[in-house]
Structure 1
Amino acid sequence: MGRMREAGVEPDAVTYNSLIAGAARRGLPIHALDLFDEMLRAGIAPDSWSYNPLMHCLFRSGHPEDAYRVFADMAEKGIAPCDTTYNTLLDGMFRAGYAMNAYRMFRYLQRAGLPVSIVTYNTMINGLCSSGKVGYARMVLRELGRTDHAPNIITYTAVMKCCFKYGRFEQGLDTFLSLLDRGYISDVYPYCTVISALVKKGRLGEANNYCDLMLQNGSRLDSVCYNTLIHMRCQEGKLDDAFELVSMMEDGGLESDEYTFAILVNGLCKMGHIEAAEKQLFYMEIKGMQSNVVAYNCLVDALCKFQEVDAAIRLLQCMKLKDDFTYTSLVHGLCRVGRYHMASKFLRICLREGNNVLASAKRAVIAGLRSSGESSYDCFEWQET
């Protein structure tokens, strides 16, 4: 903007709107607000496209009250909201946990004859599904069928995810098949959704068939899709295929991420390849992912199951981040080899760090202390905890 002014060109609403949108995309709410204030001080009147990205950024950054204040300011200044404004508000309400408020606002839009587009319907269906309001989501979906708006791939994918999430597996699969029949599938996301669901159900043969179909359709795979396929190969015990997929991903210009390493470490541990899993952790650290607690937890758990508890303790001490599962695995592992005092010690460390463990781990420590003749005071103390 300094160079603009030097050239005799004054910034206008479009200039500031672009900058605010850029700050919003980068998740910089303070910067976006500063730009908005600067715009007002410069005497430039904001429009709806000044407010929309600002509200979106505040909602996404976890500041719903500030986003509502921005909307109220918009109303006070007499700036008419557009359909993007309302869609931003609805999406923000869902993200803030106010699903029924969003539903009531949607009904208000309909009664007032305000813009209700396919994007609005998709926002409602996805938000209601994510909030567990499946009945309301189905009601809105039925209403969409009675409008002039045609459901699109986003609509169907939201319904699929909802069905799989809440145990309505066959309904989700039927939705996917209807997408295929109507020729709606143009990217990999619906494939990944159904493949992941099939893998979780243990229906690996069907998952493989859809993988083949996805590749035959010439879909360009992204890192999420590759991770889904790698996970499936690990579930099948086909580790060579999994690593071949990793090579394909990296040859295609995509980087292995934390999910990739967690999947590989878990797959290697399940097959008993502990040394290979340790090597994957080493490669992961080289890439600067030392905080991948899921990958570390997989190896801690595997070492404990193979009764290599001292190695598990050393690994835990090297971890930058630990959580409930880290300590639960270690406590159970120590109890399995009869080292109840050490298990008790790590249980205390866990609680001091503000973590917790599963109740089963506490019970294992209490039972072990009792069986080893430990004083009743220590057992009672853990029962109280």
Structure 2
Amino acid sequence: MVRMRAQLRLSTRLMNVGLAALCRGGYLVRAESVLIDAIRLGLPPDVVTYNTLLSAHCRADDLNAGVAVVHRMREAGVSPDAVTYNSLIAGASREGLPLRALDLFEEMLRSGITPDAWSYNALMHCLFQSDHPEDAYRVFADMAEKGVAPCATTYNTILNGLFKTGHATNAYRMFRYLQRVGLPTGIVTYNTMINGLCKSGKVGYARMVLKELGRAGHAPNIITYTTVMKCCFRYGRFDEGLETFLSLIEGGYISDAFPYCTVISALVKKGRMQEANTYCELLEQSGSMLDRACYNTLIHLRFHEGKLDDAFDLLDMMEKGHVESDEYTFSILVNGLCKMGQIEAAEKQLWSMEIRGIESNVVAYNCLIDALCKSHEVDAAIKLLHSMKLKDDFTYTSLVHGLCKVGRYHMASKFLRICLREGNNVLASAKRAVISGLRSAGFKNDLRKVQSALYMARFLRS
């Protein structure tokens, strides 16, 4: 009898391993079928079996299916544990259901199950994500009152939650408190602080924490440096961004081309072309493998410099390296060619894009429509607009302006009304051009229709 029980326990463990593999692969239906067959054959599932299945349902954003597993557990005489409810609370967090998460936590307590640190962490994360920081603080206070020791994840959850809810100053103060009392502040904590401070626009504080990271004996990784570097560029602190990039190089942290492309892109936007070229040469010397984003950045740089042949050489290298072009690639090509007056070449790129199955690239279409209108080829622009599946404010603004420039105010007013009916809008300058043109041309009926459409659009938006 004892031997049989040992065999059953072993068989259950093997079944759990198989179920876990199926769940990781996303084969939930097959996992459910395996469990049903096992029960039919007399193989007893345990709490690990049900927790594995329940957790997989929650990860698949099906909290109700996860709750149903708990009912099946109880019917089978298997008692849920803390892991069961931790998975359910995490599932409620993924689906953005803070009230459901609180109900599950209360149910856990009523069932006599003692929450652990992960139970509190999952609940706090859910409340922070759902913009309920005060309730998250209360959960943290309850955790301390019940004598449940916080772990590093607890503090990281609170710090991250404070940043997400716009309390960057409070997060920074808490970080300093953790340091003062000697509580755990590992690489994840530092990265959380640096990322949060950067997103909050506190560049100086982010760079200060970055410097402290090295002194604390933790090796900064490329993500840490790149986060700070991008933040510096975003807020116009270019010299500090370049200094951070040089620190990356000196520390030997650069393993790919992404940091180079971040610097090059920022310098191009700033118009500092000579420096951009310098970093482009450094990138080529580094021997880093280029991905799609890197090629796009370099092609954009070449077009910005007016080096058409170099841009297409890069495109050729991209294709030979089996790196597929994306919407952004074609937007750069069409925009660059249009600015250089190569409208026919831009049209060919648009056709090439459609052949590759990219049909909804509004930016590329808008660039060509704008170029056609500026060349007074408004009929071709109208034809192109009709072929577009998606249109936006810029599409109609370019066309309306173009029609007004060639004196076709009646047609401009028609497209303005279509634009408003579709829920789009045009720039105020385009509206003024249409109204002024209709008045000067004496199109009183069209003028009334446009004014009525503009009034109705304002009313619906208010």
TM-score by length of 1: 0.81
Unpaired runs of 5+ in structure 1?
none
1:79 aligns with 2:109: no
Instruction: Tell me the amino acid that sits aligned with residue 240 of structure 1.
Output: D
Question: SS at the partner of 1:220?
Answer: coil
1:98 aligns with 2:179: no
Number of aligned residue pairs: give it: 374
Distance 2:436 2:285 in 1: 56
Alignment partner, residue 257 of structure 2 = 188
Alignment partner, residue 219 of structure 1 = 288
Instruction: Tell me the amino acid that sits aligned with residue 328 of structure 1.
Output: T
Task: Please report how far the alpha carbon of residue 253 of structure 1 lies from its aligned counterpart in structure 2 after TM superposition.
Answer: 2.7
Deviations 1:180-239, CA, capped at 9 Å, x for gaps: 233332222221111100111222222122122123222122111111111111212222
Question: SS at the partner of 1:99?
Answer: coil
Distance 2:285 2:321 in 1: 17
Task: Please report how far the alpha carbon of residue 109 of structure 1 lies from its aligned counterpart in structure 2 after TM superposition.
Answer: 6.5
Q: Is the 8 A contact 2:92 2:101 kept in 1?
A: no
Alignment partner, residue 298 of structure 2 = 229
Task: Please report how far the alpha carbon of residue 123 of structure 1 lies from its aligned counterpart in structure 2 after TM superposition.
Answer: 2.2
Q: Is the 8 A contact 2:203 2:228 kept in 1?
A: no
Question: SS at the partner of 2:117?
Answer: coil
Task: Please report how far the alpha carbon of residue 337 of structure 1 lies from its aligned counterpart in structure 2 after TM superposition.
Answer: 0.8
Pair 1:307–1:34, CA change in 2 (3 A): same
Unpaired runs of 5+ in structure 2?
1-30, 74-78, 119-150
Instruction: Tell me the amino acid that sits aligned with residue 200 of structure 1.
Output: K
Q: Is the 8 A contact 2:197 2:203 kept in 1?
A: yes
Distance 1:149 1:338 in 2: 67
Q: Is the 8 A contact 1:335 1:365 kept in 2?
A: yes
Q: Which of the pair has the greater relative contact order for Cα pairs under 8 Å at 6+ separation?
A: 1
Distance 2:160 2:87 in 1: 15
Question: SS at the partner of 1:356?
Answer: coil
Task: Please report how far the alpha carbon of residue 132 of structure 1 lies from its aligned counterpart in structure 2 after TM superposition.
Answer: 3.3
Q: Is the 8 A contact 1:54 1:67 kept in 2?
A: no
Moved more, 278-287 or 48-57: 48-57
Q: Is the 8 A contact 1:16 1:35 kept in 2?
A: no
1:273 aligns with 2:318: no
Instruction: Tell me the amino acid that sits aligned with residue 98 of structure 1.
Output: T
Alignment partner, residue 362 of structure 1 = 431
Q: What percent of counterpart residues are identical?
A: 60
Instruction: Tell me the amino acid that sits aligned with residue 80 of structure 1.
Output: A
Task: Please report how far the alpha carbon of residue 92 of structure 1 lies from its aligned counterpart in structure 2 after TM superposition.
Answer: 6.4
Pair 1:312–1:68, CA change in 2 (3 A): farther
Task: Please report how far the alpha carbon of residue 166 of structure 1 lies from its aligned counterpart in structure 2 after TM superposition.
Answer: 1.5
Pair 1:15–1:249, CA change in 2 (3 A): farther
Pair 1:108–1:382, CA change in 2 (3 A): same
Moved more, 128-137 or 309-318: 128-137
Say which of 334, 347, 352 aligns to 2:403: 334
